[in-house]
Structure 1
C-alpha cells in the first residue's frame, strides 16, 4: 500500500531507524518523510537559548517567503536573474553609504556566503596589491605577513591557505583588546596589511581602528612604509552605525587608510544565515587579476568571489530588511540588544563570585565575565556544562595568547533575546553557582 494511505508513523520507513549511510531503494510520500525529518530536527538545541552565536536566529514570515522565492535563483547567473543582481548592487551601495565610502555610487563589493569568505577576499586583495607594488620595485615577494590583533579563526585560515605569515598582537594584562602602539613592532616591509577587528569575537569590544591608522600614518611619515588597513567588522559594522553612543566612533572609510571592510549580513545585519559582505574603498583597491569573467551562463559576467553558484535568497532578505526596518528600525533593535546586555550585566555584577569585564556599553551587545580570583572549587567550564541542563548554550574559553590563564564566559545578545530570558538565565547561573560552591541554601528566585 502507498504511504499516501497509511498513517505517518505506521509506514515502513517510520517503523525503523531512518537511513544514515545509504540512500534507500524505495520512494516515500513527502508528508511521511517531512514529519520524520522534522522529528529529527526537534533534537537540535533551542535557538532562543543559544547565547554563544552571533548569527540571526529570528526571521519573520515575509522574510521566509522571500528566502523561498530566492532559493531557486542562482545569484551568479546575472543574465537570467538581472533583478536579483541589481538587488545585490543596491545592498552594496547602501552599505557603502552607511560606511562612508568616498562615492557610494561607485562602490565595488560583493556578497559572500559569510564573513569568512568576505575576509579572505579582503586578505587576497591586500596580498595581490602588495605583490604588485613589490614587483614594480624589483623586490621579492617571498615572505608576506599579515598583522592582526586577536582574530576569529577565518584569518588564521586565510594565512594558512594563502601562504601568508600571521603575526598576532597580544592583549596587554588587564586589557580586552590589542593596543594600537603594540601593532608597530610586528610590521615591516613584507606586511601586506593590518587587520583591526571592530567587535572582537573573544571580548566583544572594538579595537581602536582610528588609533591603529594613526600609528601607521606616523610609520609612513618616518619610514615611507604605506601599510593598508582592512577592517573586520563582521559584527560591529551593523552595530556602531545605529547605536547612538557609537555613531561618532571613526572606524570605516572615513579613515583614508582603510581600504576594505567585511561584515556579516547574517549576524547583526539581521539577514538569515549564509550572507557576508566585503566592500573596497575604491575600484583601484580591488586588483583586476581577482576579477574573472564567465560567458557560459548566457552573458559575459564578472565574478570575484571564492564561491560560485548559490541562491539569491539571503541577499534578497538583506534588501528586505534594509527597506523594512530602515535606519530607525535597525537603531531600535540594536539599542534594545545593547540595553538587554546591560540589564544582564547588572544582574551578574551583583554576584560576589563574578567579575564583569564587559558590560555591553562600548562594543557589541553582550556580557563577558570571569570568576573572581578568590573563587575556587569550580570553574566557568563547570558553570557552562551545568547551564546546558537548563537548555542554555554559552561560551567559556581562555583569552588569547599571553592571557591564557584568564578564563572568561561570553553571553551574546541578539534580536529576539529578551530581558525576561536574561533574568531567567541569571537566576539559573545563581542557582548553579550555589550548588557548585556547596552553599547550603535553597534555590533562590530573583526579585
Structure 2
C-alpha cells in the first residue's frame, strides 16, 4: 500500500498519523493546520454520526452527544465550565473557567521561541508589553479622541522614510497597516492607478482594460503578491527561479517580460525561501535602459517584508531603497525584524505624487477631516506605539547589534551543518568574494587579522536565514532516508523546522529552513545543532550502509545497548534482554477475519520474499528487508491494522509516552491514533514493532533463563503490565506474542 505523505498531518505537540481512505480522514481534512483567514463551520456531531458504521462506533458512543459537543475542562472541581463548542452558549460561565478552558486548549500550540519556521517576533521587553496593554483599547483612526497616537504614527513614518533614504527634496508619505500583506495590496493598487492614469491621459487615450495590466515578480514571491493580482484583476507574470541563481528572481529574466501594460516590477529584499536579496540596483539599471530604447517607464516596488528592518542596519551602505531612483514604494513588516508583536506593517512612498489622489479618502464623520488610505477602517494603536518604543529603546545601534548577532548565529549554524551531512542553500556564511590566489591572497589573509571577522560586509548579503538540505553524498549513501523525517523528528523535540519544496521550476528540491531571530541565542543554536545531528544520525542507524552493527548488520533500527526490565522480578534483581544483529526485525500484524483478504503487512517489495507461513494462525509475521525507517514502519503498519484488532486495542487507550527520540530500542512502541477536531473521546490504535525473533532474542541475566514460549516469559509480562490496561487486551497481547513467535519458528 502506497502512503501519500501529504495525507499525514502533524497535530499540536504530538504526532498522530492517519492515512486515507478512512472515515476519520474527513476529520483530519477539516482540522488540517494551515494558515487561512477563513474558517469553515464544522458540525462535529454530523461528522461523528457518519462514523457509526465504523468498527469503532462502540467507542465513539461511550459519551453522549451532548458531551461530545461541549468543552471538558482539565480539572474537575469546577462544574461551571459546561458550554457548547460550536454554538453560542445561552448562559455564560465564570471568567476563570473561560480563561482556563482556552488556556488549556492553547497549550497544544508549539513554543513560539522554538518556532524556527516563522519570521514573526515572539518577544518584547516588559515595558513594551505594558505600553501595549495600556493602549490596546485605542482605535487609532479616531484622531480627535486620540491625537497623541496619530502624532506617534506620523513620527514612525518619518523615521522609516529616513531609514530608507527618502530624498529630502520630496515629500514621503506612508501608513501603518495590519501587516505586509495589506501593505502589498496598497502598493499594488497605487501602481495600477498610476498606470491607468498614464493611459487615459495619453494622446490619444488608450483603453486601460484591454488587454489589461500585468505585474512582474519572481516565482519565489510571497502569496500576498498573487492575492493582489487575483483580487484586482492584474495579470501575473512569474519569473522562473533557478537553483544556480539561489532561487530568486534574475532581473535579466524579468526584463524580458516587460511590456507597455506592465504596472510595475516587485523586487524582494529577503526571499522567504533562502533569505537572499534580489538585486534592486540591477533591475533599475535594466529598466532605465529599456526606457531609453522603448519609452516604456516601469517603476519598482520593493517587497521588504523581512529586509526592510534588517538591511539598513546590517548593510547600511547597500543601495536598495529610495536611493535607487526607480524605486517608488517599499513595504515592510514591523512584526518581523522590526521586532514588534504581530500584526504591524508599513508602506512608504518616496513622494506623495506616487500615491494617486483618487485612492485617498477624506473622512468627516469622526469630528474632523481625516485622510485615509487603508483596506480596513479601524486600526489598533498599540502596534505602532510598540514600534516607536523599539525606535526609542534600541536606536540605530541597537537594531544593528541585534542584526549582527543574528547573522553571526546564522553563520555558526550554517558552518556546522555544512561540516556534517548537509548542503546549505542560504548565503550569509559565504565570503563576499572568493579568496585570491598568490600574493594577493596572502595580503588579504594578513588584512583579515586587522579587521573584524564578523563584519557582515565580508560575507554575501542576506537575511539571517539558514536553508539547507541533505547533501548529495549523504543521499547517495542513504537513499531510504527522506528529508522530511528530520523535520518531523525535530518537532518531537520541540523544534519547529519546516521542510518544503523550492519555488516552481525547482520544486523537486526540498529544503529545511531556520529563521535566526533575536530569541535564538548562541546556546539555543548549539542545542539545535546537536538535535539535528542526533536525529540525522538516528536515521542513519536505520540505513544498511550506516548500521551501528557494521557490515554484518541487517539494517534494522535495533541496537543491542537498549534494554527493558521485568517488573515481576522480585527484589533488586533485574532481568535484561539484548538483541543480536544476526536477523532483520520481525513485525507483527493482526490478520483479518476469514471474510477479508489482507494476509500480510503490505510492505514494499523485498529482494527475497519471506517464506510462507506453514499453518494458518490468528496473526502473521513477516521479515521485511526494507524496514530501515521507523516512520515507514509506523505508517505502513497502521494502515494494515484490521478492524478485528483495532476495535480491541482502541478500548485500551492509555497515555503511553515511552518512545524516545532514538528509535533504536529493544521494543520500539509507536503510538498513533485518530482524534476528532470536536475533541470527543480519542480513539487510539497502538501497535508495536518487535525487533527480534525466537533465534536472536537471548536472555542475559543473573537469574535462571526461562523458555521463550513459557507463559511467564517476562516480555509477555511487560506487554500485559505496561502497555495494555484491560485483561482482555492483555490476553490478546499474550496471544500475539505466542502465536507470532511460534509462526516465526515454523517459518
Q: Same fold (TM over 0.5)?
A: yes
Q: Secondary structure at the match of 1:241?
A: helix
Gapped regions of structure 1 (runs ≥ 5): 1-7
1:94–1:104 CA contact under 8 A, matched in 2: no
Deviation per residue, 1:335-381 (Å, 9 max, x gap): 11111111111111111x31111143420012011222240212221
Rounded to whole Å, the distance in 2 between the matches of 1:440 and 1:165 is 54
- What residue number does 2:290 align with? 219
Show the 5 A alignment for 1:280-359. 280-351=349-420, 353-359=421-427
Tell which deviates more after alignment, 124-133 or 98-107: 98-107
Which 4+ stretches in 1 moved above 6 angstroms? none
Rounded to whole Å, the distance in 1 between the matches of 2:427 and 2:496 is 19
**What's the CA shift for 1:87?**
0.6
2:190–2:354 CA contact under 8 A, matched in 1: yes
Q: Secondary structure at the match of 2:402?
A: helix
Rounded to whole Å, the distance in 2 between the matches of 1:40 and 1:29 is 17
Rounded to whole Å, the distance in 2 between the matches of 1:116 and 1:136 is 30
Residue 507 (structure 2) pairs with residue 440 (structure 1): no
Q: 2:501 aligns with which of 394, 398, 412?
A: 398
Residue 171 (structure 2) pairs with residue 171 (structure 1): no
Q: 1:274 aligns with which of 322, 325, 343?
A: 343
**What's the CA shift for 1:35?**
2.7
**What's the CA shift for 1:440?**
3.4
Rounded to whole Å, the distance in 1 between the matches of 2:84 and 2:427 is 47
Deviation per residue, 1:3-60 (Å, 9 max, x gap): xxxxx8522234x5x5321222223332332233222222211011100000000111
Q: Secondary structure at the match of 2:274?
A: coil
**What's the CA shift for 1:105?**
8.5
Question: Computing the radius of gyration over CA atoms, which structure comes out larger, 1 or 2?
Answer: 2
- What residue number does 1:124 align with? 189
Tell which deviates more after alignment, 171-180 or 139-148: 171-180
Q: 2:317 aligns with which of 237, 244, 248?
A: 248
Rounded to whole Å, the distance in 2 between the matches of 1:93 and 1:379 is 49
Residue 488 (structure 2) pairs with residue 385 (structure 1): yes
Q: Secondary structure at the match of 1:358?
A: coil
Rounded to whole Å, the distance in 2 between the matches of 1:109 and 1:80 is 22
Rounded to whole Å, the distance in 2 between the matches of 1:205 and 1:404 is 17
Rounded to whole Å, the distance in 2 between the matches of 1:329 and 1:278 is 23
* Bigger relative contact order (CA 8 A; separation at least 6): 1
TM-score by length of 1: 0.93
Tell which deviates more after alignment, 204-213 or 433-442: 433-442
- Structure richer in helix, relative to its length: 1
2:170–2:351 CA contact under 8 A, matched in 1: no
Show the 5 A alignment for 1:35-50. 35-50=100-115
1:344–1:419 CA contact under 8 A, matched in 2: no
Rounded to whole Å, the distance in 1 between the matches of 2:378 and 2:170 is 26
2:171–2:350 CA contact under 8 A, matched in 1: no
Rounded to whole Å, the distance in 2 between the matches of 1:9 and 1:186 is 65
Tell which deviates more after alignment, 217-226 or 425-434: 425-434
- What residue number does 1:159 align with? 229
Q: 2:470 aligns with which of 364, 368, 371?
A: 371
Rounded to whole Å, the distance in 2 between the matches of 1:9 and 1:28 is 15
Rounded to whole Å, the distance in 2 between the matches of 1:170 and 1:70 is 45
1:93–1:104 CA contact under 8 A, matched in 2: no
**What's the CA shift for 1:397?**
1.4
Residue 141 (structure 2) pairs with residue 73 (structure 1): no
1:96–1:104 CA contact under 8 A, matched in 2: no
Distance 1:431 1:175, change over 3 A: same
2:170–2:350 CA contact under 8 A, matched in 1: no
TM-score by length of 2: 0.56
Rounded to whole Å, the distance in 1 between the matches of 2:196 and 2:481 is 51
Rounded to whole Å, the distance in 1 between the matches of 2:163 and 2:330 is 12
Q: 2:521 aligns with which of 408, 415, 418?
A: 418
**Number of residues of Structure 1 aligned to a counterpart in Structure 2:** 433
Rounded to whole Å, the distance in 1 between the matches of 2:321 and 2:532 is 38
2:426–2:466 CA contact under 8 A, matched in 1: yes
| Structural RMSD (CA) | 1.8
- What residue number does 1:193 align with? 264
1:233–1:263 CA contact under 8 A, matched in 2: yes
Gapped regions of structure 2 (runs ≥ 5): 1-74, 430-460, 549-558, 560-660, 663-747
2:80–2:94 CA contact under 8 A, matched in 1: no
Residue 196 (structure 2) pairs with residue 139 (structure 1): no
**What's the CA shift for 1:184?**
1.1
